[in-house]
């Protein structure tokens, strides 16, 4: 079996159509993305939703995507990013929270991405930035 070069992500499949959900193996954990293909733009996709799936009976990436398909949301394609077995569910939750945090002010992102804030990320201390002296209009630039 080919090894992934990534610490968290074991395997991936990208831009499958919603009709291809059945070919996914069951019981996998990780992050998934639902997209809407943009007509007349040729293989361009807008992210509608970022979600995650944990392990356990009745759970998994395939089950989560099937549940979205039943709700008839306006999505056309999906991607799946499976995590390694040694990645804890808390780490998967953290990844999902980070992606939702990134999309929180994206005007094109579906509101489902920003329904919940990621409270743990909000409690992280802000990076202490180095203050640079302001340039004066007479200061020379160096090449």
pLDDT at 140: 57
What element of type H or E holds 99?
helix 89-103
Query: What are the helix (H) ranges across the chain?
Result: 61-70, 89-103, 119-122
Side by side, the strands of the sheet bearing 45-53 are 9-17, 77-83, 30-37, 45-53
Residue pair 104/117 in contact (Cβ under 8 Å)? The answer is: yes
Q: What is the pLDDT of residues 65-124, one digit of tens each?
A: 999 998 877 899 999 999 999 999 999 999 988 888 887 777 776 655 544 556 666 677
Residue pair 50/31 in contact (Cβ under 8 Å)? The answer is: yes
- For residue 104, the tally of other CB atoms under 10 A from its CB is 13
Q: What is the pLDDT of residues 89-106, one digit of tens each?
A: 999 999 988 888 887 777
Q: Give the three-class secondary structure for 58.
A: coil
């Amino acid at each position: 079996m080919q090894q992934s070069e990534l610490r968290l992500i074991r395997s991936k499949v990208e831009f499958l159509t919603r009709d291809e959900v059945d070919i996914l193996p069951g019981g996998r954990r990780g992050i998934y993305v639902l997209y809407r293909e943009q007509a007349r733009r040729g293989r361009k996709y807008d992210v509608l939703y970022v979600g995650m799936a944990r392990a356990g009976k009745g759970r998994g990436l395939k089950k989560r995507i099937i549940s979205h398909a039943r709700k008839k949301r306006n999505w056309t394609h999906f991607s799946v990013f499976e995590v390694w077995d040694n990645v804890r569910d808390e780490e998967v939750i953290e990844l999902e929270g980070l992606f939702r945090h990134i999309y929180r002010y994206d005007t094109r992102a579906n509101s489902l991405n920003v329904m919940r804030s990621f409270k743990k990320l909000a409690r992280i201390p802000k990076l202490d930035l180095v203050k640079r002296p302001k340039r004066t209009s007479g200061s020379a630039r160096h090449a």
